[in-house]
Amino acid sequence: MSIYILIDYAPIICVLFGLIMAWKVASARWFFISCLVVEIFGLAMTDTVMQWNTHFYIYCVFISLVFLLPIVYRKRLAMWLYSKTGYEYFNNVLKTHRFVPQEAGIICFVFLACIVNFVTWIEVLLYKYSFLSNAPIKLYIRDNTVVLVKIMVCLALLSYAFRAEFREKFIHDENC
């Protein structure tokens, strides 16, 4: 088994672990469930996308941006679901939602992955159409950068899970 395969599955493992750890905290549970849906979608598409060769890298940009949806739109989705269902869980998520440093870190790392994958895609296109004789970013930089990004995202997810209860208590004390 290649280290890259292990790294590909690491975020979903961290999301599941974080979901278990932070189950009692409504906003953290909502965050991890949202991330889990995106991770499952990404992993379900992997076999198909790996056959694309040239356009695999632009797909990586797309899926990275999709991974940001739970961070950016989680509160709005909870608000919409609460307005449609009246389910109190979504109201609790709305009341306790706070943008935290771990989310900011994830956004920065995902944007780094987007930039590297986009540049790699351009480089591969230029190589494919014989404008370049070599693809050094693809060969030497991209894979290591993506591994680093995935490791950092995993650490941010775990940090988010470990701090969830503390954050919940702080928000509760702040609202009292």
Q: Would you give the distance in Å from CA 54 to the centre of its chain?
A: 23
Number of CB atoms found within 10 A of residue 29's CB: 18
Confidence (pLDDT) at 70 = 84
Confidence (pLDDT) at 152 = 97
Strands of 36-130, DSSP E: none
Q: What is the pLDDT averaged over residues 131-149?
A: 93
Rounded CA gap, 118 and 112, in Å? 10
Confidence (pLDDT) at 33 = 94
Residue (of 141, 70, 63, 64) closest to 102 by Cα position? 70
Whether the per-residue pLDDT at 53 is higher than 80: the answer is yes
Q: What is the pLDDT averaged over residues 67-86?
A: 91
Q: What is the pLDDT averaged over residues 149-158?
A: 96
Range with the poorest average pLDDT among 46-50, 63-67, 163-167: 163-167
3-state secondary structure of 132: coil
Residue 173: HSE in the Cβ half-sphere, 13 Å Cα cutoff: 6
Across all residues in the chain, what is the average pLDDT?
91
Residue 148: HSE in the Cβ half-sphere, 13 Å Cα cutoff: 11
Q: Which two tokens stand for residue 106?
A: 């994830």
Whether the per-residue pLDDT at 73 is higher than 70: the answer is yes
Rounded CA gap, 17 and 39, in Å? 13
pTM (predicted TM-score): 0.88
Residue (of 83, 81, 95, 93) closest to 176 by Cα position? 95
Q: Which two tokens stand for residue 164?
A: 């969830």
Q: What is the pLDDT averaged over residues 121-131?
A: 94
Q: What is the pLDDT averaged over residues 14-34?
A: 94
Whether the per-residue pLDDT at 171 is higher than 70: the answer is no
